[in-house]
Amino acid sequence: MKKKNGFTVVELVVSFSLVMVIVLFLFQIIISLREMYVNNGVKSSLLNKQALMMQQIYDDFRYHAITSFTNCGDDCVTFTFQNNTTTTLKIDRDQKLFEYGDYVTKLVDGSQFGDFIVSTETIPDVSSSKYDSILKIVISITNPLVEGDYGVTVVYQYNSNATTIS
Amino acid sequence: MKKNQNKGFMLAETLIAATFILGTLVFLYIQFRNVNQGYQTLFTYNTVDALYAAENMKKFYLQDNFDEIAASFRSNMNRYLDLSECPASYIGESEYCQKLMDILGIKTVIFADVDTNYLVDVLDTTDISPSLQKFIRYVKNDEEGVLLKYRIFIEMDDGTFATAKLGEAKPQPYFVHNLFQDGDFEQSGWSPIYIEEAGYSTDYALHGNYSMKVNGVASKVEVVFYTTHTISLVPTHLYYARIGVYKTNPANTAIDMYWPEAEPSLLNGVVNKTNEWQMISMLSNRSTFNAVSSALRLDYNNEYQATPIYFDGALLIDLTADFGAGKEPSKEWCDENIPFFNGEYQVER
């Protein structure tokens, strides 16, 4: 009688099926890890840049009261402070530069500017000694590799009786 | 007899192989999930936008009605206040608060103790959303740096979270030291130039059984006595000096403390109360002197009057050494919060 030494068909099918399942699973993990690495790397860079840009403005606004702001061209605003100093906030869409006073930074590769909005709002009937107005600066920054807006949103509260922002 | 020629997998082999493979897959999945969760936490908790939003809310609460919020919180049995709706019962400018929250994109604000454990203990019984509960559990207490009493947790419309500490400073323990070896004049630590001019007396005592009785001399404008020990001074430090004085003569008189024995004095004051103990205190720095170890001189400016005066409860505290540079308390605070003591005493500030 002929001696049977090899795998049976069933054994081969089962083995291949198992290997295929494992390979598929590993592929999924590798693809997800790759996406995670790319997305999170970009996200980290965007968040770091966002933190630096916002810190520049918030630090200035914390120690100097604003008295007025004026348009200085497209995507450009100049703030005047109570101590009569001025600081200009502007963006260069072509060069992808963000500028606030002496601070200049280039956006993360692939990012682009969106809206540039500076607005104020005064809430009526607020006690004269308290904050009643809000200055909001929004500079939208997006990157096609990740979802969401990683731009600058600065909110400055002030009392319109003590500070007239025009 | 027919021999079994089947050399394929046995059931045991298949089970072992399958278990091993399954174990490997589960291990990989768990590792992957942990890495992914770590990233999600990084991008969801304490984000830049959420942190600045929390700072803006903190700024608003502190100038709006913070005392009322803090008082309400302290009397609240739930260990937290939900300020998401800007309730008029806590918030002075409710409409402004709501507008600010809308502009900042804040959905929920929870006001709680800076120590998150007080809230975490009862978190399951609260109406706080599960995602915010998870964030509150995630926030670590940094005991060593905790100087403020309260904190806010915020949940943003985009599902991110942040926390910010705020409020009046939580009292911190400080150990203060009386640089006088015997500030209650219990028969040691002080010495007059002439023994007949000053001595320990039981006539009147503010602390312990004795005080220092100083006899005015008709031929002298002042009578002085010294500590028997020297005290090291640091010119850049701020000192708090205080002493109790008792006189029976209605006429006003003055006292001085010199340390070292040169102008300007460390302490001076007019004694205008009669038949009661009067406390005279002062904050002084010794910036015009060099670092020196010197005895301290106490003067009774009797102005040629032969009337006695009594000293007791002498304190000399190096505020800079005990509280830290820039954190020295005011004279009024010291008067109110530091009782007489010898050696070391713990205060909260």
Q: Please tell me the total number of residues recorded for chain B in this structure.
A: 349
Angle, in degrees to the nearest 10, between helices B48-64 and A9-63: 40
Nearest to B56 among A50, A132, A155 (CB): A155
B9 contacts A11? CB cut-off 8 A: yes
Instruction: Choose among B25, B99, B158: nearest Cβ to A25.
Output: B25
**B36-47 average pLDDT score:** 86
- Return the SS3 of B155: strand
Q: Which of the residue ranges A125-129, B111-115, B230-234 has the most confident prediction, judged by mean pLDDT?
A: B230-234
The answer as to whether A127 is a domain residue is yes
pLDDT averaged over every residue in chain A: 87
In a domain, A118, yes or no: yes
Express each pLDDT in B66-119 by its tens digit: 888 888 888 766 689 999 999 998 898 999 999 999 999 999 999 998 888 888
CA dist B194 and B152 (Å) reads 66
pLDDT at B239: 95
Beta strands in A8-75 (DSSP E): 66-71
Please tell me if residue B36 touches chain A, with a CB cutoff of 8 Å. Answer: yes
CB contact under 8 A, A5 and B59: no
A37 to chain B, any CB pair closer than 8 A? The answer is no
Lowest mean pLDDT among A155-164, B95-104, B251-260, B324-333: A155-164
Q: Is the ipTM of this complex over 0.95?
A: no
How far B36 CA lies from chain A's nearest CA (Å)? 8
Please give the Cα distance from B80 to B123 (Å, whole number).
10
Phi-psi region of B6 (alpha: psi -120 to 50; beta: other; left: phi over 0): beta
Helix residue spans in chain B (DSSP H): 11-44, 48-64, 66-74, 94-104, 117-120, 130-138, 319-323, 331-337
Residue B313 CB burial class (10 angstroms; 0-12, 13-18, ≥19): buried
Let me know if residue A2 belongs to a domain: no
Rg from Cα positions in chain A? 28
Confidence of residue B1 (pLDDT cuts 50, 70, 90): very low
Whether A60 contacts chain B with CB within 8 A: no
B74: exposed, middle or buried (C-beta count within 10 Å: 0-12, 13-18, 19+)? Answer: exposed
Other beta carbons less than 10 A from residue B108's beta carbon: 19
Q: How many residues does chain A have?
A: 166
CB atoms within 10 A of CB B132: 18
- Is B1 in the A-facing interface, judged by CB distances under 8 Å? no
Rounded CA gap, A132 and A160, in Å? Answer: 6
Residues of chain B with C-beta less than 8 angstroms from the C-beta of A32: 32, 36
Domain coordinates in residue numbering, chain B: 48-169, 175-348
Classify residue A3: in a domain, yes or no. Answer: no
Which DSSP category does B183 fall into?
A: T
Tally of domains within chain A: 1
For the four alpha carbons of B319, B320, B324 and B326, in that order, the dihedral sign comes to positive
The CATH architecture of the domain made up of B175-348 is Sandwich (2.60)
Residues 133-172 of B with CB under 8 A from A: 158
All residues of chain B having their beta carbon less than 8 Å from the beta carbon of residue A127 are 92-93
Residue A115 lies in a domain: yes
Q: Partners of B154 in the beta sheet?
A: B109, B162
Answer positive or negative: Cα dihedral of B46, B51, B57, B63. Answer: positive
pLDDT digits (tens, 9 = 90+) for B92-101: 899 999 999 9
Whether A136 is in a domain gets the answer yes
Asked if pLDDT for residue B17 goes beyond 90, the answer is no
Scan residues 38-67 of B and list those with Cβ closer than 8 Å to A.
39, 42-43, 47-49, 52-53, 55-56, 59-60, 63-64
Domain assignment of residue A25, yes or no? yes
- Asked if B21's CB is within 8 angstroms of A153's CB, the reply is no
| Contact assignment for B59 to A157 by CB distance below 8 Å | yes
Total Cβ atoms within 10 A of residue B244: 25
Instruction: Write the pLDDT tens digit of every residue in B155-173.
Output: 999 999 999 988 766 667 7
What residues of B are in contact with residue A50 (Cβ under 8 Å)?
48-49
Q: Is the dihedral of CA A28, A30, A32, A35 positive or negative?
A: negative
In a domain, A163, yes or no: no
B309, B249, B313, B260: which is closest to B289 by C-alpha?
B260
Chain A segment 122-161 residues within 8 A of B by beta carbon are: 123, 125-127, 130-132, 134, 136, 148, 153-155, 157
Q: What is the C-alpha to C-alpha distance for residues B277 and B300, in angstroms, rounded to an integer?
A: 15
The bridge status of strand B292-294 relative to strand A112-122 is unpaired
Q: Which tokens sit at B337?
A: 């919060």
Distance, first Cα to last Cα, chain A: 104
CB pairs under 8 A between A and B: 87
